Structure 1
Amino acid sequence: MPDTGISELVRSWIDGWVVSRGSSDPIDEPWGWTIDVGQPRHVARHVLPEPSEGDVRKIVAGTSAPGTWLKLFAEEQAVLPWAGPGWRSDVPGYLMTGQLRPERPEVPSGYTLTSWTRGGVSRVLVRTSAGHFAARGQVARAGTHAVVDQVETATGHQRKGLGSLVMRTLQSTAYEAGARTGLLVGTPEGRALYSSLGWTMRAPMTSLWYEPADAAP
């Protein structure tokens, strides 16, 4: 894939993420974008593809609402000191890209796979033959890109190929819908799976949220 600037990749990721999560359209800011998410502990997020100390400190100084998040595409040790009291760190993330292709992965014995599309989001659900939840994931298209989101495998069903099954099914679904490049932000645990499927890490992401001591549950 031709080299693409981090800001362009992050914007493509955002365009799919807001569809996947049903949040507001992103608002352009001098430093990136603001998104209204509208959840009690995730009211809004500010996304900075190339964070600077001045921009982060300005946002932090203007934040009073608990549940405000910062998504900073940089290593935690570089940006965490800019946040100050009341800001907490989530697990690290990794912006990754992958080439999509049509596939027909085999469903492991003892499991069933269901998929459906609604409102621009395609979902995959894996259950046991008895109907118990085993794994899931979803993908939202943004032009020629598709954003994979909320991939998870239940405890007790890990290391059985279900994560790969979900990912390959989502990749194929997005390809058939016209997307050619996949985007996602993965956890450290997910990164190994995505790398094994040919995805490439493009940038680290630090997630911080505002929860002052008097607002903690």
Structure 2
Amino acid sequence: MPDTRISELVRMWISGWVVSRGSSDPIDEPWGWTIDVGQPQHVARHVLPEPSEADVRKIVAATSAPGTWLKLFAEEQAVLPWAGPGWRCDSPGFLMTCHLGPEHPEVPAGYTLTSWTRGGVGRVLVRMPAGHFAARGQIAQAGAHVVVDQVETAAEHRRQGLGGLVMRTLQSTAYEAGARTGVLVGTPEGRALYSSLGWTMHSPMTSLCYEPSAAAR
């Protein structure tokens, strides 16, 4: 039987992700959801919370548009053989959640923090006093939960506590807005940070992108 808990968490994630990225509303499919993203290298994505070989092969057979992505909540070694030639495996992701509470982060010396909300998306920007970029992140709220997205720290500013500053600021903003659960899909680099902040990992996510030219090389 499918793990309905994972399906629910993935649905929570995409409901905020489409707001954060300005994508189309998710289209319900028997196996999950399709989202039109509308970017040259990311035309659309098919999200499968409990992927089966039959469903993945059916989607792959019907795909001809480069820049189509599959987001499969399973281990790479299990699902990659189902895709075949032309599908590139991107960096793995990790579906994580966190119970939100009040946060009171301090800005490290030598940095400034700016935050704002527009179009339902809250953003945090950390810079040096002269304006140089150091770190950023954003959130989109969907009901009682919030989705954290695009958290990034410049290479030269890592290990200064800025990732934690961004996350705690976003979590505090979400809590003050009434959200009580945080959801994200993190990178391998971000997973350690999120775990240290109390986030729990529920499922791996494999990302595959259709690049037919790659099959010819």
TM-score clears 0.5: yes
The 1:173/1:68 distance shift into structure 2, 3 A limit, reads same
- The answer as to 2:107 corresponding to 1:107 is yes
Match of 1:158 in 2: 158
- The answer as to 2:56 corresponding to 1:31 is no
Match of 2:213 in 1: 213
| Residue identity in the other structure for 2:59 | I
- Structure 1, unmatched stretches of 5+, are none
1:4 and 1:112 map into 2 onto residues whose CA distance is 42
Match of 1:185 in 2: 185
Moved more, 99-108 or 206-215: 206-215
Map of 1:68-87 to 2, 5 A cutoff?
68-87=68-87
Secondary structure, in 3 states, of the residue corresponding to 2:130? coil
Match of 2:13 in 1: 13
2:79 and 2:177 map into 1 onto residues whose CA distance is 38
| Residue identity in the other structure for 2:107 | V
2:57 and 2:175 map into 1 onto residues whose CA distance is 41
| Residue identity in the other structure for 1:70 | L
Q: Percent identity?
A: 85
Pairwise CA RMSD of aligned residues? 1.4
The 1:4/1:178 distance shift into structure 2, 3 A limit, reads farther
Match of 2:203 in 1: 203
Runs in 1 of length 4+ with deviation above 6 angstroms? none
The alignment covers a number of residue pairs equal to 214
Paired residues of 1:44 and 1:68 also in contact (CA < 8 A): yes
2:146 and 2:58 map into 1 onto residues whose CA distance is 32
- The answer as to 2:119 corresponding to 1:119 is yes
Q: CA deviation at 1:103?
A: 1.1
Match of 1:145 in 2: 145
- The answer as to 2:98 corresponding to 1:98 is yes
Paired residues of 1:66 and 1:215 also in contact (CA < 8 A): no
